A and B are shown apart, each in its own frame.
Chain A
C-alpha cells in the first residue's frame, strides 16, 4: 500500500498555491510538511482528504484509507468525553477503549467536554485517529496546545501507527519525533499564475 501524488496542483480562493507536486509515501513512513504560513500546507491536506478537487494532477490512494484531522477537533461540548469517543467509534464501527487509553483519557471519560482544557480537547480529537483504524493519517498541526507529556503520548501513538504499516502526512512547525521524510512546500509555489480550469482564468 502506498500513497502517490503525481503532478498535483492545488488552489485556494481562486488562486493556485501549489504546483508540480510529486511524492510517494510507502507503507510505514511519515511525511512532514514544512513551509511558512500560507505556503499551502492545509490546502494540500484538504485536497488529499478529498474535501476539495485538485486543479490538476492525480492522487492515488486505496479507497477508504484516509483519516483527516483539521485545526479543529470536532469535539461536541455538550457531550461527555466517553460519548464523543463513542460517537466516532460508532461512525467508524470500531471500539474506542484502546484509543482512550493511548491518549490517556481514561480518567476524563465521564467529564463533559466543555470542561476540558484546550490540550485535553486536542487529545480527544487525536484519539479519533486511533479509533478510525485507517492507514493514512492527514494531520494539520496535531501538537498545537499540547504539553510536553501529551506530545510524548502522541509521538508514541504515531510511532506505533507507523510500525503497524500506517502512513502519515503531518503539517507542523515543531519537531514531531519522526523526522522521516521532509517536504518543504516553498519551492512548489507557482511562479506564474496559470490555472487550466479555474473560474477566473477562463475569462482571460
Chain B
C-alpha cells in the first residue's frame, strides 16, 4: 500500500481530489475555495499600515490561513513519508530544451540549478525569486484570485470573469515561457 502511494499519482486522481475541495469547503462551512487571499490576510494581520484594502477583520477569514497551514503540513508529510526515490519523468522535448539551457537536474520537483539558497542573491535569483514572487502576489490580488479561486472555483461555478482571468493567466505564462524565460535561463 505504502509503495503504491509513493509512486507519482496520475492526473485524474489529483484532479478529482482538488475538484472535491470545492464542495468540501462549501459543506464544511460555506467557504469559497481560494488560496491567494491568504496572502492578503497575512498582510492585514501583520502590516495593515492603515491601507484601506487591509483594514478589515481578517480573523473572520482565519479559516483560509488554517487551510494553507494544512497545505504546508501535508506537503511536508508527503515529502518525508511518501516520496518517490526516482527522478521526475519530464516530457522529452521539455527536457531537451531545458538541457540546452543548462537545467539538467530532474532529481527533485524543482531544479537545483535555479531554486537553491546560493542563487538567491544572484541576478538569476533576483528574477526567479524576487520578480517572480512579486508577480504572483501582485497579479493574483489584482486579478482577484489565482488558479484555485478563478480557474477551479470560478469555472466550476461557470463564472465568465473567471474564464477571462484563467485565459489571461495562460497568456501571461506562455509569453514568459516562450519569449522571456529563454533569456532569464541564461543568466
A and B: interacting chains: no
Binding site for A on B (CB under 8 A): none
